[in-house]
Amino acid sequence: MVDEVMGNSTPKVSEVLVRKKERRLYLLAGDRIIRSYRVGLGANPAGHKLYEGDQRTPEGKYTLDWRNPYSDFYKSIHISYPNEKDLELASAWGLDPGGSIMIHGLPNDVGDMAFAYLGLDWTDGCIAVSNEEMDEIWDLVADGTPIRILP
C-alpha cells in the first residue's frame, strides 16, 4: 500500500525498487512505499541485460548517479549500469555490455502520440514513465540514491 503524503512532508526517498515482472517502479522511504509507477521496459524485457542492443533492462543493484534535463527523452536519470559483475559477464562472452541505461520520460518528439507508449515495453533497455511521473521522480529522487532492479 502506498502511504498518503500530507502537505510538504514527503519522506526522503532512500531507495528505488523496480520489479520488472510487475512493470512497477517504487520509491521507498525505509521499508515504506511512498510512490508507485507503471513502467515500460526494454522491448525484450525477460532476463538480465547481457550486451548492447539486446533491448533488455538490467537486473541487480546500481546507483542513480547523474541526471540529464536535455536528453532525447523527457528528462533522464542515469543508472550506474554496467557494474563490475556486468562487465565480467559481458567480457566472458566477448560482448560489449552497453550502457546509458536511464529512468526517463517519453521521447521529446512524441507529440500527440504519447498515449501509444504508456503501458508498453518500448525502450532499448531503459525504464520509462510518463512525463508527469518523470517530473515527480526527478523532484523526489536525489543523485546517489540506490536502485534495485528485480526480475
CATH number for the domain harbouring residue 139: 2.40.440
In a domain, 2, yes or no: no
In a domain, 33, yes or no: no
From residue 10, give the alpha-carbon distance in Å to each of 6, 17, 64: 7, 18, 19
DSSP 108-129: TT-GGGGGGTTTS--BSS-EE-
In a domain, 7, yes or no: no
Give the count of beta carbons closer than 10 Å to the beta carbon of residue 126. Answer: 22
In a domain, 30, yes or no: no
Predicted confidence at residue 119, as pLDDT, reads 84
Edge-to-edge strand order for the sheet containing 32-38?
A: 32-38, 24-29, 15-19, 145-150, 60-68, 76-79, 102-104, 127-128
Q: Could you tell me the residue range of the domain that residue 115 belongs to?
A: 40-143
The three cell numbers locating residue 2: 502506498
List the chain residues with pLDDT less than 50.
1-6
DSSP 66-94: EEETTSSBSSEEEE--S-HHHHHHHHHTT
Predicted confidence at residue 5, as pLDDT, reads 47
Q: What is the pTM of this model?
A: 0.90
In a domain, 89, yes or no: yes
Predicted confidence at residue 8, as pLDDT, reads 58
Cα–Cα distance between 126 and 149 in angstroms, integer? Answer: 11
- Cis, peptide link before residue 69, omega less than 30° from 0: no
Predicted confidence at residue 37, as pLDDT, reads 98
For 75-95, b where at least 16 C-beta lie within 10 A, e where not — what string?
bbbbbbbbbeebeebbeeeee
In a domain, 149, yes or no: no
In a domain, 8, yes or no: no
In a domain, 61, yes or no: yes
Predicted confidence at residue 118, as pLDDT, reads 84
How many separate domains does the chain show? 1
